[in-house]
Amino acid sequence: MIARVPDVAPSPQRSPRLTALVVASALFMQNVDSTVIATALPAMAASFGSDVLRLSLALTAYMLSLAVFIPASGWIADRFGPREVFRSAIVVFCAGSALSGLAPSLPVLVLGRVVQGIGGALMVPVGRLVLLRSVPKSELVSAMAWLTMPALIGPIIGPPLGGLIVTHASWRWVFFLNLPVGLLGIVLVSRLIPGGKPSGRRALDAPGLVLSGLALTGLIFGAELASRPIFGPELGLAILAFGLGAGVLYVRHALGMPRPVLDLRLLGVPSFGVSVLAGSLFRLGVGAVPFLLPTMLQVGFGMSAAEAGLVTFSASVGAIAMKPAAGPLLRRFGFRTLLLWNGIVSTLTLAACALFRPDTPWWMLHGVLIAGGFFRSLQFTSFNTIAFADIRQHRMADATGFYSTMQQVSLTLGVVAAAATLEASMHLGGRATPAIADFSTGFLVVSAAMAASVPVVARLRPDAGSVLSGKP
């Protein structure tokens, strides 16, 4: 149901930065929630008289809900209007949060997480679409810098925040805290985000939505199960093969449709295609950091959850410091040059984490993490901006849905790749618990994936995105 809240006409002088902050606040809520629950799982399991393994259904249900519904976001935004859908997505997300927080049993919790996933699946791509349609291209770099922060900061502060909530309150507050933030977001969207008429009534590609949902579910869920030795690799590989088969069927279907739910023809737009491929490789490393770093600090270094949270927050400091630098750097170097060299530096700062040891000086540890947060955030912002440089307005909804789908898949697969590498290194070393060397291997593997994005970036034209960057 699309929420209808009485609107106050937005001022024509409204700052694009304010629009970006409103959208970013809602996305921050979604990004923190998606990671904070991992810390609360043991307490939730004890509350339901279950085990943590069964409680992982709450994580999987959310992830699969995202995979199924993100591809439909473009059609829904075109059908009902971006602002209406974005506002309604916040309503749905808050409803799922309330249901999860009040859940008396595991099945009700899983249902609540599914509802949250539906809201989150619409908030991310449609929030980006709201920004793209309301901010002038000359100010898009600055606006995207604000929008990038939730994706980078949320997964970093989520785990320590979850630890504090579980330690000093009930795990149910993990979900209840979303409600005041969501209500504020609904009011701000109604007052500050410009409205717009629906841009079309095209038919929903229902077969494509089913096939893409099966493909993404099979790929993500299969890869996750394959990385968990407790299930055995056979089940995961079978589901992975099913997902690949559904993916092949979807490609055949999409190429014969004028407006499929995920339009592969958008990859033919050079700036978009390069951003999707290179950005996906880069985000494999970004997605792995919130899993590898806190786990290494606690399991490998013996830090408490609070101590590890303070260390990992250094990466968020770097991401925040990047915001005022993005515009000037892009004006000076342009997208292609900056993405090439910043991609190399980002890879080196991530690989440097493989050298961390318990006796590493604190200033060096924090310095590498702050620098890594800065450069990864700059790369993230640049990819998210150049991707839409050459997309026409009438295809913007399709492009944001496609891009958000690939972003979610690559970030999730980053965690899966890190976990699988950790398990493989432990197996080869004959260890039942991970050692520092296993974490080092994990960082090096995901750094290699990040490094693979650099040659792809070289395919961009030297003047790509010049209208956005302002580079002469």
Place of tokens 């919130």: 290
Residue 120 is predicted with a pLDDT of 87
Residue 319 is predicted with a pLDDT of 78
Same domain, yes or no: 32 and 129: yes
Residue 331 is predicted with a pLDDT of 87
Same domain, yes or no: 131 and 193: yes
Same domain, yes or no: 272 and 146: no
Residue 38 is predicted with a pLDDT of 63
Same domain, yes or no: 355 and 246: no
Residue 11 is predicted with a pLDDT of 41
CB within 8 Å of 293: residues ≥ 6 apart:
308, 311, 312, 315, 353, 369
Same domain, yes or no: 124 and 217: no
Same domain, yes or no: 318 and 284: yes
Residue 287 has which token pair? 């997605």
Same domain, yes or no: 388 and 282: yes
Residue 240 has which token pair? 């992975």
C-alpha distance from residue 356 to each of 46, 91, 155, 343, 432 (Å): 34, 43, 21, 21, 21
Give the closest residue to 293 by CA, choosing from 126, 161, 157.
Answer: 157
Separation between Cα atoms, residue 139 and residue 16, nearest integer Å = 7
**Domain-located, residue 358:** yes
Which residues constitute the domain of residue 452? 264-472
Same domain, yes or no: 232 and 340: no
CB within 8 Å of 394: residues ≥ 6 apart:
199
Tens place of pLDDT per residue across the chain (472 aa): 454 444 444 444 456 667 777 787 777 777 777 667 766 766 777 788 776 556 666 766 787 787 778 888 878 888 888 888 889 999 999 999 999 999 888 888 889 988 998 998 888 788 878 877 777 776 777 777 777 666 666 666 676 777 677 777 788 888 888 898 888 888 888 887 766 666 656 677 889 889 998 998 888 778 777 766 556 677 878 888 999 999 999 999 998 888 888 899 999 999 999 999 999 999 988 888 877 887 788 778 887 766 776 787 787 778 778 877 888 898 889 999 999 999 999 999 999 999 999 999 989 999 999 999 899 989 988 998 899 888 887 788 888 888 888 888 888 788 778 888 888 888 888 887 888 999 999 999 999 999 999 999 999 998 888 877 766 6
Same domain, yes or no: 161 and 211: no
Task: State how many domains the chain has.
Answer: 3
Residue 12 is predicted with a pLDDT of 42
Residue 367, domain CATH: 1.20.1250.20
**Domain-located, residue 209:** yes
Same domain, yes or no: 240 and 360: no
Give the predicted TM-score (pTM) of the model. 0.79
| DSSP character at residue 269 | S
Return the amino acid letter for 423: E
Same domain, yes or no: 168 and 254: no
Same domain, yes or no: 86 and 222: no
CB within 8 Å of 428: residues ≥ 6 apart:
none
